[in-house]
Amino acid sequence: MAKDKIQDFESMVLGHFGPYGGRFVPEALIAALDELAEAHSQAQSDPKFHAELNQLHKTYSGRPSILTDAKRFSQYAGGARVLLKREDLNHTGSHKINNVLGQSLLTKRMGKKRIIAETGAGQHGVASATAAALFGLECVVYMGEADTKRQALNVARMKLLGAEVVPVTQGSKTLKDAINEAMRDWVTNVETTHYLLGTVAGPHPFPTVVRDFQRIIGVEAKEQVLELTGKLPDAVLACVGGGSNAIGIFHPFIEDKSVRLIGLEAGGKGIETGLHAATISGGSPGVLHGTRSYVLQDKNGQTVESHSISAGLDYPGVGPEHAYLNDLGRAEYRPITDDQAMYAFSLLCKSEGIIPAIETAHALAGALEIGNELGKEATLLINLSGRGDKDVQTAADYFGLPL
């Protein structure tokens, strides 16, 4: 027993999740990663930090987020009860704000005045720009040039909020390259700058820090489901790109062995076509962006470009804790194609009056599958991670609506 505890402690220090996680970064970043790990660990045991963060949740982002009983949508999910955890109602429109507020408080504690962030769809960029305005921090957001064009509205939002948006023209000009560029900025400006990473990937301590700030989703949801139904849900579902909203809702349920944890990955045009972003379902273990996890890569260890209709899931890596939960068999990961996601997107719009983010629509498509498998006695908890205002253009194009 004592030995197990020591190993746990070492794993915590190195940020390992079984064989995954860790740190694969230039030595120049180690001091900053250690500083962040230390600040986070101190904050976690400081009641003042929690009080400040809770206050922000209550009076700024609008927590606790509510639980919606999706009765009409449930008819399409084999009659299973479908409960939606409404992270879409948070300020800035997604779960991203939870992590951003937490890390901004850590930035303040570390005495840094500048934050940098990467963004794909722009949701994390917008949340970062928002928090920077709130805390009076300088903010630079790196965004692949291709994404700045696809998500022009979010670029404008970030600029309105006072952030500088840097289009990245290297490599594939998408999220992966935005992360590379943010890391280069960090290597150069590490003394004054905090890298506010948006997902549970990257080098230790990011997968732990981001998870700890997203756990609130699952903590609240568990209590809400118990209050509403008197029992634990049969399955918890969430979409998985990097995996922050999924780990946030999964984590408080990990010990509840009766609850199935199901992550829905972006299957793009189908795994068999190679045009997908389903890292666990269609990738293999490797190293990317400072961590060991499942990666989409070729035989030479080169990162392969991912494809998804959802910019937020369009990433060839995934958080190391998901890789570990998968290998342990504690969580399951399934691919959802673009078409399946868009069908579920449309269904939620018309059956519940909620326009979800296309990322989130992957989780909803999973609910249709799982609900039909489990039948009407089952209760499914879905993380409705974001709202779809940003996706109106993409959806209109997909459904052929004239704008």
- The residues binding another protein (CB under 8 A) are 14, 22-32, 170-171, 176-177, 180, 183-184, 187-188, 190-191, 286-290, 292, 295, 297, 299-303
**How far apart, in whole angstroms, are the C-alpha atoms of residue 343 and residue 348?**
9
**How far apart, in whole angstroms, are the C-alpha atoms of residue 355 and residue 344?**
10
Residue 10 falls in the annotated catalytic set: no
30 vs 401, beta carbon nearer another protein: 30
* Smallest gap from residue 59 Cβ to another protein (A): 37
* Smallest gap from residue 179 Cβ to another protein (A): 8
* Smallest gap from residue 167 Cβ to another protein (A): 14
* Smallest gap from residue 13 Cβ to another protein (A): 9
Residue 385 falls in the annotated catalytic set: yes
CA-closest candidate to residue 207, choices 324, 108, 45, 313: 324
32 vs 83, beta carbon nearer another protein: 32
**How far apart, in whole angstroms, are the C-alpha atoms of residue 277 and residue 15?**
25
Q: Are 259 and 313 in contact (CB under 8 A)?
A: no
Q: In what order do the strands lie in the sheet with 138-144?
A: 164-168, 138-144, 114-119, 193-195
- What is the amino acid identity at position 276? H
Give the start-end residues of each E strand in 3-87: 16-17, 20-21, 67-69, 81-86
Residue 308 falls in the annotated catalytic set: no
* Smallest gap from residue 202 Cβ to another protein (A): 11
Q: Are 331 and 263 in contact (CB under 8 A)?
A: yes
57 vs 276, beta carbon nearer another protein: 276
Of the residues 61, 74, 244, 385, which is catalytic? 385
**H or E element in which residue 267 lies:** strand 260-268
* Smallest gap from residue 178 Cβ to another protein (A): 11
Of the residues 74, 104, 118, 181, which is catalytic? 118
CA-closest candidate to residue 235, choices 342, 347, 366: 366
**How far apart, in whole angstroms, are the C-alpha atoms of residue 120 and residue 117?**
10
Give the number of other Cβ atoms within 10 Å of residue 255's Cβ. Answer: 8
Of the residues 96, 112, 173, 176, which is catalytic? 96
Q: Largest Cα–Cα distance of the chain, in whole Å?
A: 66
Which residues carry out catalysis? 96, 118, 385
